[in-house]
């Protein structure tokens, strides 16, 4: 038979101390686990935040290019609107017709913008209008006027494009209309705008009528 001869107060203090020690150990383990979990979550947050910043940094050039393309499209639409108004006002004028063709091609071959164009129309006598040995032929006035109706139109275009494929597509469009049988790429160069490559080009188009 077991008989506890210790005072009751001492027994209760010992039991309470034992319980507090157990609760303290359990609370310590719980706090330790919570700290480890928070440290792990904080580490993951730092890693994800770093990856997110890298993603934003890599997408910044794309956003800049999209902004530039949008600005280029707006300028192309503005130019096309002006060309359409001019074409409607002077539909019979050859220069206005050429402007309409160039403007339409610029809207098709995106992203592309025409910055400068120069047109020269030359009237040349036909080979039959001058006789051999420098002697003038005897012909009627109508024949003489017909002899100088042959014209040669030189169109020089300078502009910029986002890609070299846009330049090729623009040239194919001009050739497909059979207005300019000869479309030649005179020069092309590259320059950087906001860390993006912009292609500068010069075309020469020749037509004979």
Per the domain annotation, does 39 fall within a domain? no
How many structural domains is the chain composed of?
1
Asked if residue 110 is part of any domain, the answer here is yes
pLDDT at 111 over 90: no
Q: Which one, of 131, 130, 125, 132, lies nearest residue 147 by Cα?
A: 125
Joined together, the tokens standing for residue 145 give 């006027």
Q: For the chain, give the mean pLDDT.
A: 77
Residue 40 lies in a domain: no
Q: Is residue 43 part of a domain?
A: no
| Angle of the 8-89 helix axis to the 94-108 helix axis, nearest 10 | 160
The answer to whether residue 27 is domain-embedded is no
**Residue 200's pLDDT band (cuts 50, 70, 90):** very high
pLDDT in tens, 79-108: 887 776 655 544 445 666 777 778 887 777
pLDDT of residue 142: 43
Does residue 66 form part of some domain? yes
In a domain, 52, yes or no: no
Q: Assign residue 187 the CATH number of its domain.
A: 3.30.70.60
Beta bridge partner(s), residue 193: 196
Pick the closest to residue 107 from 180, 159, 50 (CA basis): 159
Which of 129-143, 171-185, 193-207 shows the lowest mean pLDDT across its residues?
129-143
Domain of 165, in residue numbers: 61-130+140-208
3 pLDDT exceeds 80?
Answer: no
- Closest of 175, 173, 171 to residue 202, by C-alpha: 171
Q: Which of these, 201, 185, 184, lies nearest to 115 by C-alpha position?
A: 201
72 CB neighbour count, 10 Å cutoff: 19
Mean pLDDT of 179-183: 82
Q: Which of 121-125, 126-130, 151-155 has the lowest mean pLDDT?
A: 126-130
Q: Tell me the whole-structure pTM to 2 decimals.
A: 0.44
pLDDT at position 2: 55
Residue 112 included in any domain? yes
């Amino acid at each position: 038979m077991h008989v506890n001869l210790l005072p009751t107060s001492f027994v209760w203090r010992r039991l309470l101390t034992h319980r507090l020690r157990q609760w303290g150990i359990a609370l310590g383990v719980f706090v330790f686990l919570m700290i480890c979990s928070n440290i792990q979550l904080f580490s993951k947050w730092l890693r994800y935040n770093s990856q997110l910043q890298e993603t934003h940094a890599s997408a910044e050039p794309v956003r800049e290019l999209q902004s530039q393309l949008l600005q280029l499209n707006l300028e192309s639409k503005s130019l096309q609107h002006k060309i359409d108004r001019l074409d409607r006002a002077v539909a019979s004028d050859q220069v206005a017709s050429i402007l309409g063709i160039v403007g339409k091609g610029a809207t098709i071959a995106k992203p592309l913008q025409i910055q400068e164009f120069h047109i020269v129309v030359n009237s040349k006598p036909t080979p039959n209008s001058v006789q051999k040995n420098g002697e003038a032929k005897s012909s009627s006035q109508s024949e003489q006027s017909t002899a100088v109706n042959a014209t040669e139109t030189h169109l020089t275009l300078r502009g910029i494009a986002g890609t070299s494929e846009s330049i090729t597509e623009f040239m194919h469009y001009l050739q497909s209309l059979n207005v300019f049988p000869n479309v030649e790429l005179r020069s092309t160069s590259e320059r950087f705008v906001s860390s993006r490559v912009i292609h500068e080009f010069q075309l020469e188009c020749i037509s004979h009528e």
